[in-house]
Amino acid sequence: MEWTMLQLPSVRWTTDGVAYGAGDRSAYRIGLVRARANGEVTTLLRQRVEELAWTLELSTEGNEKWGPTSLHISPGLSDPAYKGNYICFGTNFTGCDFPQSAIQSPKIKYARQCVIGSLGNQSVVMRATTTDGRRGTVIYSGSGGSGGFSNSVEISTLSPAEYCETNKDRGY
C-alpha cells in the first residue's frame, strides 16, 4: 500500500498528507467518502435526516516511510480534527450495521482464519483471494450492545496468521 493510494475525486482527505499520533510511532491519513453497504444509505438525525459520510483511514504502527499497513473503512466520522465526532452508533443513526455478506464479491473468495473477541464485540479475520490470484487479509468487525450495532472493514498487509497472533489478546 502507498500513502498516495485512493487519489480519487470521491475521497475528501481531511488530513494534510500523513499525520502522526501523539506520543507514539503511529502515522495515519484520514478521508471521507460516500459509501453504501447492501445499497443502504447511512444516516444521521440532527435538525433533519442527513446522509452520513464513512471514514477511510490509512495507517501504520511502524515506520511511515514504508507506507501504510492497513486500510480501515467504517460508517460515520471519527476524525479528531473535525468539530464533533459522529461515530455511527445509537438512536440518531441508521445503516451502521451491515452483514458480512455486504463485502462479498464474485471476484473474491474468503477463507476464515480466526475470530478475535467475544459475541457482540468481535472481528472475523479472513484470507481474501481474488480471481487473478492476489491475496490479502480482510477483517470484518462488529461492535454493539443495547445502544445499537456498528460494523467496519479493514484490509491489512499482515498475513491472516500474523494478524490473528498479534491481536489474539486484544480486549474490547
Quote the longest CA-to-CA distance of the chain: 48
Residues with Cβ within 8 Å of residue 22, at least 6 apart in sequence: none
Structure confidence at residue 169 as a pLDDT band (50, 70, 90): confident
Strand 93-94's sheet: what is its strand order?
A: 49-51, 43-45, 93-94
Q: Model confidence over 124-148: pLDDT tens digits?
A: 999 999 999 989 999 999 888 777 7
Quick one: 45 and 78 in the same domain?
A: yes
Q: Model confidence over 11-25: pLDDT tens digits?
A: 999 889 998 887 777
Angle value at C-alpha 28, between 162 and 71, nearest 5 degrees: 50
- The C-alpha atoms of residue 24 and residue 43 are separated, in whole angstroms, by 34
The residue among 80, 96, 112 that closes a domain is: 96
Quick one: 78 and 88 in the same domain?
A: yes
Structure confidence at residue 172 as a pLDDT band (50, 70, 90): very low
Mean of pLDDT values over 66-92: 77
Return mean pLDDT, the chain.
Answer: 86
Q: What's the number of domains the chain is made of?
A: 2
The residue among 31, 63, 96 that closes a domain is: 96
Q: Compute the chain's Rg from CA coordinates.
A: 16
Q: Model confidence over 91-128: pLDDT tens digits?
A: 888 888 888 888 888 999 999 999 998 877 899 999 99
Three cell numbers written together for 33? 467518502
Q: Model confidence over 39-54: pLDDT tens digits?
A: 889 998 889 999 999 9
Quick one: 31 and 48 in the same domain?
A: yes
User: Does pLDDT of 82 surpass 60?
Assistant: no
Quick one: 77 and 28 in the same domain?
A: yes
Print the domain residue range for 17.
1-96
Quick one: 20 and 89 in the same domain?
A: yes
Quick one: 37 and 88 in the same domain?
A: yes
Quick one: 2 and 79 in the same domain?
A: yes
Comparing 78 with 151, which gets the higher pLDDT?
151
Quick one: 111 and 161 in the same domain?
A: yes
Question: Given this model, what pLDDT does residue 80 score?
Answer: 58
Quick one: 87 and 114 in the same domain?
A: no
User: Does pLDDT of 83 surpass 60?
Assistant: no
Helix (H) or strand (E) holding 166, with range, is: helix 160-167
Contact 114, 170 (CB under 8 A): no
